[in-house]
């Protein structure tokens, strides 16, 4: 519930990020406001939430697989040692493997999310229609287009995100609270810091992944591999092109994490969950 409300609340910024990643290079004058205005003009205010349905739908399996894998890998690494907590590099490995495992299983949903996010009014009647059209026109392989940069990107993102988060929480507990139960504000700060660090490290690969996922929708553009996309961006847009759309991406970090933790705490109370 926390993830669903959080993603829904920041969906317009997420769609704007994807829009800038894919179309920003062809529209040099585009920015945050003109991008939002363009999307509203094309499909109305409700169009700002295109792709949010499947984004919410994949939260449960993605989160469950990621955290289950993280716990399993952490337990396995701990069993190889003679005791003591995991070091930073060990948390990084566990987080990276957990993220890669989750993304491998739910990746077709990522492709569908990108296509639904970028769709024009009337292009698809829904999730099933989108999947059917992709399968008919592009084949099964289209559901794993961009998988390599996605997997390479999830390694630094998930690794840094989970490792920095746990290090921040442990540090705050020792230096500030000296207890095992951090407060909401501490978790909020740790979550924001870890997410930002992870995104900075993996953003270029995430941008290349999105462009590969959306290649079939970009008329007149060549179908490029990961290396081809990287060379094309560097030669035509410069290094800054690898970070196109990062502004709305960062703008949604704090509200996304804030909404997530607030809803999380209220849902715990409503459901009677006790730590």
Structure confidence at residue 85 (pLDDT): 75
Structure confidence at residue 174 (pLDDT): 62
Distance between CA atoms of residues 18 and 103, nearest Å: 18
Domain boundaries, the chain: 2-271
pLDDT at position 15 over 70: yes
pLDDT at position 128 over 90: yes
Spatial CA neighbour of 170 closest among 76, 97, 162? 162
CB-CB contact of 98 with 73 (8 Å): yes
With a CB cutoff of 8 Å and minimum separation 6, the contacts of 16 are 32, 35, 36, 39, 245, 248
For the segment 28-82, what is each residue's pLDDT rounded down to a tens digit? Answer: 567 788 888 888 998 899 999 999 999 999 988 888 898 889 889 988 888 887 7
188-225 burial, b for 16+ CB within 10 Å, e for fewer?
A: bbbbbbbbbbbbbbbbbbbbbbbbbbbbbeeeeeeebe
pLDDT at position 208 over 90: yes
Structure confidence at residue 106 (pLDDT): 93
For the segment 161-175, what is each residue's pLDDT rounded down to a tens digit? Answer: 777 887 887 777 665
Structure confidence at residue 252 (pLDDT): 86
Mean of pLDDT values over 97-121: 91
CB-CB contact of 1 with 273 (8 Å): no
For the chain, give the mean pLDDT: 84
Enter the tokens of residue 182: 């951090």
Structure confidence at residue 178 (pLDDT): 52
Confidence of residue 186 (pLDDT cuts 50, 70, 90): confident
* The CATH number of domain 2-271 is 3.40.50.300: no
Mean of pLDDT values over 139-143: 92
Confidence of residue 221 (pLDDT cuts 50, 70, 90): low
Show the CA angle centred on residue 23, arms to residues 20 and 24, nearest 5°: 55
pLDDT at position 133 over 90: yes
pLDDT at position 229 over 70: yes
Q: Is pLDDT larger for residue 166 or for residue 144?
A: 144
pLDDT at position 223 over 90: no
Confidence of residue 231 (pLDDT cuts 50, 70, 90): very high
What percentage of the chain carries pLDDT values higher than 90? 29
What values do phi and psi take at 122, rounded to 5?
85, 0
Max Cα separation, the chain? 62
Confidence of residue 130 (pLDDT cuts 50, 70, 90): very high
């Amino acid at each position: 519930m926390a993830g669903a409300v959080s993603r829904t609340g920041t969906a317009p910024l997420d769609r704007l990020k994807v829009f800038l990643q894919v179309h920003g290079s062809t529209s040099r004058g585009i920015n945050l406001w003109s991008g939002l205005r363009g999307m509203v003009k094309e499909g109305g205010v409700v169009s700002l939430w295109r792709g949010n349905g499947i984004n919410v739908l994949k939260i449960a399996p993605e989160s469950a697989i990621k955290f289950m894998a993280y716990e399993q890998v952490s337990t396995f690494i701990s069993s190889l040692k003679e005791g003591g907590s995991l070091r930073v590099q060990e948390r990084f490995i566990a987080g990276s493997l957990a993220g890669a495992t989750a993304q491998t299983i739910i990746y077709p949903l990522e492709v569908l999310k990108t296509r639904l996010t970028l769709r024009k009014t009337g292009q698809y009647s829904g999730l099933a229609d989108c999947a059917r059209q992709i399968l008919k026109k592009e084949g099964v392989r289209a559901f794993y287009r961009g998988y390599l940069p996605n997997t390479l990107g999830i390694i630094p993102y998930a690794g840094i995100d989970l490792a920095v988060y746990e290090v921040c929480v442990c540090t705050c507990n020792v230096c500030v609270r000296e207890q095992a139960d951090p407060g909401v504000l501490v978790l909020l700060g740790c979550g924001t810091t870890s997410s930002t660090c992870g995104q900075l490290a993996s953003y270029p690969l995430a941008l290349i992944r999105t462009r590969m996922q959306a290649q079939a929708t970009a008329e007149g553009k060549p179908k490029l591999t990961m290396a081809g996309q990287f060379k094309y961006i560097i030669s035509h847009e410069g290094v800054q092109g690898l970070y196109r759309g990062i502004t709305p991406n960062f703008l949604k970090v704090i509200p996304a994490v804030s909404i997530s933790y607030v809803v999380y705490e209220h849902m715990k109370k409503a459901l009677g969950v006790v730590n």
